Chain A
């Protein structure tokens, strides 16, 4: 009896090794109703400039939306928006409307895509490798249409900071020279340690060992960091320390007292746009 119990215990303790990374991605369905009806008043776009497109990431299809003129990708400055952890691009369409109205309507082209498993993109987001592959696939699509580093701004919201950090650190088909980190996470270790209160490394639950501090240390371009002091999803102190690793050419931060993870809604479109535009003109 005792031997049976001990054997049972040992077998269970050594059983299969799942990765919690998959459980942290809130991928879901998307309807992709990209129309003015779903944009905020004052931030409408010319609906003839809304284009859906597809790219291919390994064996999966990545769905994207571009607001602007395909034919002008080789001339326009383009914002590549990496969205946060919500089921699909639908949840961020209103932000795209605001970005498409920076300075004036359609002054910048704006692109957004769904990571695999999000919205209508096929497959499953698992880790750094899948996010990197999806990002590369979209960036190659842009590169093929003539986008160059000097006309690209990467804007990362929350979860989007993970692929954006790696891209800025040198893993991007088009070199990142301007990066906006809005309410970024910090590191996988910090997330597990913040959740447990113990010094457990992220390798205990996932192989996705992202580290934005390390990424920022290896990023030489311009950086704007935006965060609220009351963010209970991405703790500001951790993000501040990670962003402080940046040693690049230009650094700017916009920190808002009392603002939460939904930063744009908390500070308003006007202030959000002003800070962003100042950085893009830098």
Chain B
């Protein structure tokens, strides 16, 4: 449910531009991967600032309304091989449809990206912040849930295609009963994350 989509926006949209898309996260489990579906929309409110909102569909299937929103701010534009930088901040919320339990996780991230024509390559780091880590059973909680990604996206006229390989929560062991979660040295998870979007 966490880090279930590729990085939303890496290179800010142009002022007034909209982007709407669907995402598919494929974190590995056993020999396969989970299908984490989501949708989002984003709008460039200036050439250097894009706002976005999204919803996790897989979570909603199991009774958790997962909504997110945030801002991506361009710091520098890429020039040739010199990368550009952007930062992001926002929040993710989960509301149980069963009993209205609520959890909110602010997040912050940074992207380094290269852009040439329609091609965008990027390295991204992001962390969710768990302000209610102390509510976990048996002191399992951690304040930060980081993820790291390397990806490529093709943004051309009205369409964008995204692919990213992510390492999720590599600071702790993720345990799914009777399943193996491949990670790095036994920590966290990993997988390919995809997105497809339209620009208008």
B-binding residues in A (CB < 8 A):
1-2, 5-6, 8-10, 12-20, 24, 26, 85, 185-187, 189-191, 193-201, 203-207, 213, 232-235, 237-238, 241-242
Q: Is B33 an interface residue (CB 8 A)?
A: no
Task: State whether A200 and B177 are in contact (beta carbons under 8 Å apart), knowing that A9-B39, A17-B97, A186-B137 are contacts in the complex.
Answer: no
Residues of B within 8 A of A195 (CB): 174-176, 181
Q: Is B155 an interface residue (CB 8 A)?
A: no
Contact B57 A237 (CB under 8 A): no
Contact A187 B137 (CB under 8 A): yes
Contact B63 A190 (CB under 8 A): no
Residues of A within 8 A of B132 (CB): 199
CB A108 to nearest CB in B, in angstroms, measures 29
Residues of A within 8 A of B99 (CB): 203
The complex places the Cα of A5 from the Cα of B54 at a distance, in Å, of 11
Looking at the complex, which of B73-81, B82-90, B139-147 is the stretch in contact with chain A?
A: B139-147
* The 3 residue pairs across chains A and B that have the minimum distance between CB atoms: A204-B64, A17-B63, A13-B55
CB B109 to nearest CB in A, in angstroms, measures 16
> How many contacts between A and B, using CB within 8 angstroms?
137
Residues of B within 8 A of A185 (CB): 177
Contact A203 B137 (CB under 8 A): no
CB B61 to nearest CB in A, in angstroms, measures 5
Q: Is B185 an interface residue (CB 8 A)?
A: no
Residues of A within 8 A of B136 (CB): 189-190, 193, 199
Contact A198 B145 (CB under 8 A): yes
The complex places the Cα of A76 from the Cα of B2 at a distance, in Å, of 52
Interface residues in B, total, Cβ within 8 A: 50
Question: In this complex, which of B60, B132, B181 has the most chain A Cβ atoms within 10 angstroms of its Cβ?
Answer: B60
Question: In this complex, which of A24, A189, A198 has the most chain B Cβ atoms within 10 angstroms of its Cβ?
Answer: A198
CB A10 to nearest CB in B, in angstroms, measures 8
Q: Is B111 an interface residue (CB 8 A)?
A: no
CB B174 to nearest CB in A, in angstroms, measures 6
Contact A19 B140 (CB under 8 A): no
Task: State whether A199 and B135 are in contact (beta carbons under 8 Å apart), knowing that A13-B67, A19-B63 are contacts in the complex.
Answer: yes
Contact B177 A191 (CB under 8 A): yes
Q: List 12 A-B contacts (CB under 8 A).
A: A9-B54, A24-B177, A187-B137, A189-B137, A190-B140, A193-B137, A196-B2, A199-B103, A199-B132, A204-B1, A204-B62, A204-B94
Residues of A within 8 A of B126 (CB): none
Task: State whether A193 and B141 are in contact (beta carbons under 8 Å apart), knowing that A203-B98, A207-B98 are contacts in the complex.
Answer: yes
Task: State whether A197 and B142 are in contact (beta carbons under 8 Å apart), knowing that A203-B96, A204-B59 are contacts in the complex.
Answer: yes
